[in-house]
Structure 1
Amino acid sequence: MHVNGFTYGPLTPLLAYFMSFLGSAIGLQSASRARVAVGPSRYRWLAMASLAIGGTAIWVMHFIAMLGFTVPGAEIRYDPLLTIVSLAVAVLIVAVGLSLAVARGGSAGSLLVGGLITGSGVAGMHYLGMAALHMAPSMHFDVKLVAASEVVAVGAATAALWFALHVRGLPATIGAAGIMGVAVTGMHYLGMTALHVTATAATDPSGWMPGMPVTSVAVSGGMSPSQLLTPLVVGISVTTTVMLLVVAMAPTERELHEERRAAQMSLALRSRR
């Protein structure tokens, strides 16, 4: 059967890319603060970076793109639990990768291990999100393209961690976020290219038989994309706006570094008295 990933033309791909770019930019700016912050403040910045990259740049991008996914003649519904679990997986795995890289100072080994963990999480989130999809035609994936999407995900995650630890300044952040958006969105559509659907199976539990129009099959369970994805995507998007405002109003990495150095000098002077 024909799979259409661009039902609304360029609207969903462009919007998906924009959210991936925006989430990446906020995540990189948050990670830059985490580099110089200490104590609880560092963990708060890392948490926000993980939510921005995992929740917005990856998860929201995926499901905005999925709003443009249709199979003509087939009803598509989503398992709400698996959909929410996929969000948690994306955020938690990014948190693990960022924490590992920051804690070890961005060494080559930590970047490679963190990139492998985070990239596997990105790919895992994608295919877990696909597992949440319910429709009468059966789905199967091209193993070679799935492997290729995994490689792209690991490469994109490793680059994201490197950017998070080394990129400084707004122009560099915008450029890095643009590259990350291309990589994450490209991984999604490469993974979608691996998907094939067929309506030639034997008897379906819902009563569908070979030759029966797919439109006559009612998919049991799950929620429609508009019922489930729209409020979730809107909710995370509002959260992203709040995070953007927080980053915009917070001290920059340089200002935090100067504050930290001033505090250290003040402490040193007190200890001499």
Structure 2
Amino acid sequence: MDGTVDGFRYGAVTPIAAYVMACLGGALGLRCIVRSLLDGDSWKPGWLALGAVSIGCGIWTMHFIAMIGFQVEETRIGYHVGLTVLSLAVAIAVVGIGVFIVGYRGRAGGSLWIAGAVTGLGVAAMHYLGMAALQLNGSIDYDPRTVALSVLIAVVAATAALWAAVTVRGFLTSLGASLVMGVAVSGMHYTAMAAVSVHVHSGTPSWAGDSPTSLLLPMLIGPVIFLLLAGVVVMFDPLLVLGDGEWHHAAPPTRTAPTKPADRPAAGRSWTGTRR
């Protein structure tokens, strides 16, 4: 029997909340990458790692907030804890590969395209690994063409986000890029969910998975708190608050050593001309 799939159980609440988290993670990640590029003397690996974790947590949180609104009317839904946690690790690790590539190589030699492809495939892997954690009394099938479209959207979105990270400098332009990134990531998620169809099995379910609210809500607390703390770090960093030009303008001038008296010409004498 085909199940009745509903991805908007709570109306617009879960899509809006998911979009906000995707934008927050994207904005923090982009600003951290920009920070690593503005000041070559800063701790680049630390800023890039913070950016990768922020983007990965934002994407993962977006996915599972959206999944709270997913239901199949004919069966209960549960989640496998191990696969759910693994999907978060995959998101952070693969996004980190792309972030470090552009952080150290920029757009040189096609590195942007490689980083975008790797990151996009990682985002898609996170999504479908998270879907593999889904447990219900039935089987899930996917439309191959819609799946391919969702993967393409993920790659394009990731490439555009990384391009913005190495190109955009201003705060407002970074904010606009994160809003566009949120649209792309959310669009990838709901495109992938459009590929889902469920065949419900008859009889009593043989699984004992946790419900979405009992598992996902507690698990979402950690990434959300991390994103808030990362936001505090970014907000209070002087270079990101002032901007590149304002930072150098506000920096105190470099003091030079005074000229030694012996180096000055004596009074009444000139160092130019020839003494006869």
TM norm. shorter chain > 0.5 = yes
Q: 1:93 Cα shift?
A: 0.6
> Is 1:88 the counterpart of 2:89 in the alignment?
yes
Q: 1:252 Cα shift?
A: 2.2
User: 1:99-128, CA deviations, whole angstroms, 9 ceiling, x for partnerless residues?
Assistant: 111211222601100011000000000000
Change (3 A) 1:108 1:67: farther
Partner of 1:110: 111
Q: 1:227 Cα shift?
A: 2.0
SS of residue paired to 2:43 = helix
Long gaps (5+) in structure 2: 258-276
Superposition pairs for residues 27-66 of structure 1, below 5 Å?
27-38=29-40, 41-56=43-58, 58-66=59-67
SS of residue paired to 1:73 = coil
Question: Following the alignment from structure 1 to structure 2, what is the Cα–Cα distance between the partners of residues 72 and 199?
Answer: 10
Long gaps (5+) in structure 1: 201-208
Q: 1:224 Cα shift?
A: 1.7
Q: CA RMSD in A?
A: 2.5
Q: 1:225 Cα shift?
A: 1.3
Q: How many residues are paired up?
A: 254
Q: 1:233 Cα shift?
A: 1.1
Question: Following the alignment from structure 1 to structure 2, what is the Cα–Cα distance between the partners of residues 159 and 221?
Answer: 41
Superposition pairs for residues 79-228 of structure 1, below 5 Å?
79-107=80-108, 109-199=110-200, 209=202, 212=203, 217-228=204-215
State percent identity of aligned pairs.
42
Question: Following the alignment from structure 2 to structure 1, what is the Cα–Cα distance between the partners of residues 151 and 42?
Answer: 34
SS of residue paired to 2:123 = helix
Aligned pair partner of 1:22 in 21, 24, 30: 24
Partner of 2:263: none
Question: Following the alignment from structure 1 to structure 2, what is the Cα–Cα distance between the partners of residues 130 and 23?
Answer: 21
Question: Following the alignment from structure 2 to structure 1, what is the Cα–Cα distance between the partners of residues 82 and 41?
Answer: 34
Structure label with greater radius of gyration: 2
Aligned pair partner of 1:241 in 217, 224, 228: 228
Higher mean alpha-carbon deviation, 21-30 vs 60-69, is at 21-30
Q: 1:247 Cα shift?
A: 0.3
> Is 1:9 the counterpart of 2:22 in the alignment?
no
Checking the alignment, whether the CA contact within 8 Å between 1:111 and 1:161 is kept in structure 2 is: yes
User: 1:7-60, CA deviations, whole angstroms, 9 ceiling, x for partnerless residues?
Assistant: 00000000000110111111111111011344771111111111111111x100
Q: 1:173 Cα shift?
A: 1.1
Question: Following the alignment from structure 1 to structure 2, what is the Cα–Cα distance between the partners of residues 185 and 108?
Answer: 30
Q: 1:156 Cα shift?
A: 0.3
Q: 1:181 Cα shift?
A: 0.2
Question: Following the alignment from structure 1 to structure 2, what is the Cα–Cα distance between the partners of residues 143 and 89?
Answer: 22
One-letter amino acid matched to 1:159: A
Partner of 1:204: none
SS of residue paired to 2:210 = coil
